[in-house]
Amino acid sequence: MALGGGIYIARTMPFRSELQPVAPDHIGFSSSRQRDLVFVVNPLGANGRTGNEWRKLVPHLRSRLGKECNICESLTSGPCHAIDITREAIREGADAVIAVGGDGTLHEVVNGFFWAGKPVVSQVKESTYSTALGLIPLGTGSDFSRTFGWKNDPYEAIERVARGLRSRIDVGVITGESCDDHYFINVADIHLSAKAGFYASRYKRFGNLCYVIGALQAFIGHQNQDLRIRFNDGPWETWPQVTALCIGNAKYFGGGMKITPNADPFSRYLEVVILQNFKWYDFVLKLHKLYNGTHLSVKNVSDRSVLSIEVEDISGKGGIYIQSDGEHLGFLPKKISVLPAAIEMIV
């Protein structure tokens, strides 16, 4: 398939090869065969900047990987398209599906690794390996990559793909009363921060400034709420005057805010950070601590590591927002759990 034509991948070629072990938790691709890589691109991301940068990147990509890999490009045409592309690529035996864009595109690709509550698996009989997840950050926000210390540099990301080292990472799953399971790789959050993210999504054309605009709009009419919370299937607890509750598989959200500083996607736990009784001026005065990850020592901030957390709205009025990786997921009640070592990722 020619690269650069904006073609949707209807199918991929059968794959025949073995993977060579490099280290106990890392795998490298064999040099004895061509690797089949599917690049999922959101051309409209960052007001079209993703598509423009991707077209500039294609010649280097072909030069660096073309001899060793079958390179398949698939441009998304709307919401959830990346999920469908990813599921098809995995079923057809792709070596890796690589999200090209921001955290939104990565979020959809991660959800494509699952279907009906189970991992999607290859339907290619001779396949003896699992499809890996990859990332080339081009978009409004690349918060997930910050946890790994990766620069927002697509050329550096291509070198990671070329090396082909893999490591299994955790994934979070969100379940509710009347919806399918939803997966996240970065941070899920509830109440004020989720409402801010909902509004910020309307202002992506302003780049990272959208998070500031979203936060200001979310503060209008905001009220802290008492929540019922249960950790690790234990007893229910009442947490009064919750401003925001964040559940991190990784550390950053909101354009570089280190909200769950102890989160580690290799730890097999999620980090929960709860802010209580915050006023608008608390955010102004403590914003620098939220960004540099030193807020855990601040009054009315709590954190813990969990396997699962359930959250309910005591008032019963509804309207408590929840989002994950910047995608609005509706309202409480919800349960969030960790799926340890759920996906292989190119690191």
pLDDT in tens, 101-142: 989 999 999 999 999 999 999 998 777 789 999 999 986 668
DSSP string, 277-337: S--HHHHHHHHHHHHHT-GGGSTTEEEEEESEEEEEETT-----EEEETTEEEEES-EEEE
For the chain, which residues score pLDDT lower than 70? 1-33, 139-141, 178, 207-208
**91-109 as b/e, with b when 16 or more CB fall inside 10 Å?**
bbbbbbbbbbbbbbbbbbb
Contact criterion met (CB below 8 Å) for 293 and 251 = yes
- Distance between CA atoms of residues 136 and 73, nearest Å: 13
Active site residue 103: yes
Which listed residue (25, 36, 84, 103) is catalytic?
103
pLDDT at 33: 63
Going by C-alpha positions, the residue among 146, 163, 1, 177 that lies closest to residue 73 is: 1
What would the two tokens of residue 285 be?
């005065």
Angle, helices 81-91 vs 103-112, to 10°: value is 40
Angle, helices 192-200 vs 209-219, to 10°: value is 130
What's the one-letter identity of residue 338? Answer: V
What would the two tokens of residue 113 be?
């690794």
Contact criterion met (CB below 8 Å) for 154 and 57 = yes
- Distance between CA atoms of residues 94 and 130, nearest Å: 8
DSSP character at residue 101 = E
Distance of CA 17 to the CA centre of its chain: 29
What would the two tokens of residue 336 be?
């969030």
- Measured CA to CA in angstroms, residue 209 lies from 48, 140, 259 at distances of 17, 10, 18
pTM for this prediction: 0.87
CB atoms within 10 A of CB 130: 20
